[in-house]
Structure 1
Amino acid sequence: MPEIAFYHHTRGSVEQTLPTLLERSLARGWRVVVQAASARRVKALDAHLWSYRPESFLPHGTKADGAPETQPVYLTCEEDNPNRADVRFFVERARMAPALVGEAAPAIRAALLFDGADDEELADARAQWKELRELGYSLVYHQQSESGGWEEKAREPKV
């Protein structure tokens, strides 16, 4: 069962922090799936990851690029896991529970990234926390600090 984390953005946007999380995952040798709720957001993330920092390259692809099994970072709005991801990031209120079972499940970690200034995303994150807790997953909640780092604020079950 993968570790489940919630990342509550209070100072920066998902677009600002996702590339760093992807870089750290790749540095650990992990394969990644990023799941959004819409094809429009997948397309926007695809464009963003090519241009977020001019001096770096973050290898990634989408269904449109073909050969998804070869992509170190695969962007999707479906519950698929064609690159056998170790970690899976969920954005734009994408549903976590269906993608945490069977072949869609990441091997190591899943994380929901959400904007705390968006009331709908905040309510959705709370609902997903409750759903996953009731399904028996171990959860950890991180909130962005004043400096932009992450502070652990809650853990279920408490250890």
Structure 2
Amino acid sequence: MGAAFFYHLTRNPLEVTLATLVEKSLGAGWRVEVRGRDDAQLKTLDAALWRRAGFLPHGIAGGAHDNAQPVLLTTGMGGNDATCIMCVGGADVTPDQISAADRVCILFDGHDSAGLEHARGQWKSLTDAGTEAQYWSEESGKWQMKAQHPKPEE
């Protein structure tokens, strides 16, 4: 059973944090779906992933080889049998999708009030549905877990 990991971005931009998490996910042997709501944002992330140092094999959904991509950027659902889903730009994920995945990461910009409110709503609806979740913040300069559901003593 998977869990949702919420990443509150306040220091590094989405492109940097996403690349780090994708690299770690590939290192764990997971196939990754980067799920967004905006084609323009996914194209920007695609370009950023190609520009970074180190090779991260990926593609944007709609190509002839979507199922062969270890990392697929999409506004839909899958196409590459991903076991790790990274939600960006307010993309939604259901409790059933989280349960079926090894991990789900929800990345949100702490400087965007609408994005912050959307993430809070996701946390509430997912944890109310019984989904395991962790909230991580980089506010102190390094990533720290600030909340967990269920709490360890529960």
Deviation at 1:106, TM superposition (A): 5.0
Alpha-carbon deviations, 1:55-77, whole Å to 9, x = none?
x1110011233221100001001
What is the TM-score with the length of structure 1 in the denominator?
Answer: 0.89
Deviation at 1:52, TM superposition (A): 2.2
Counterpart residue identity of residue 101, structure 1? D
* Partner in structure 1 of residue 129 of structure 2: 135
Deviation at 1:11, TM superposition (A): 0.9
- The CA distance in 2 between the partners of 1:47 and 1:105, in whole Å, is 31
* Partner in structure 2 of residue 155 of structure 1: 148
What is the TM-score with the length of structure 2 in the denominator?
Answer: 0.92
* Partner in structure 1 of residue 43 of structure 2: 43
Q: What's the Cα RMSD here? A: 1.6
Equivalent residues of 2:34, 2:71 under 8 A apart: yes
Percent identical pairs in the alignment equals 39
Match of 2:80 among 80, 83, 94: 83
* Partner in structure 2 of residue 74 of structure 1: 72
Equivalent residues of 1:84, 1:106 under 8 A apart: no
- The CA distance in 2 between the partners of 1:150 and 1:87, in whole Å, is 20
Alpha-carbon deviations, 1:67-119, whole Å to 9, x = none?
211000010011x222111111000011122xx536x9752000100111110
Q: Which runs of 5+ in 2 are unaligned?
A: none
The answer to whether structure 1 residue 62 and structure 2 residue 60 are counterparts is yes
- The CA distance in 1 between the partners of 2:10 and 2:42, in whole Å, is 22
Counterpart residue identity of residue 107, structure 2? L
* Partner in structure 2 of residue 101 of structure 1: 96
Deviation at 1:8, TM superposition (A): 0.5
- The CA distance in 2 between the partners of 1:61 and 1:41, in whole Å, is 14
Q: Which runs of 5+ in 1 are unaligned?
A: none
The number of equivalent residue pairs is: 152
What stretches of structure 1 move > 3 A for 4+ residues in a row? none
Counterpart residue identity of residue 94, structure 1? A
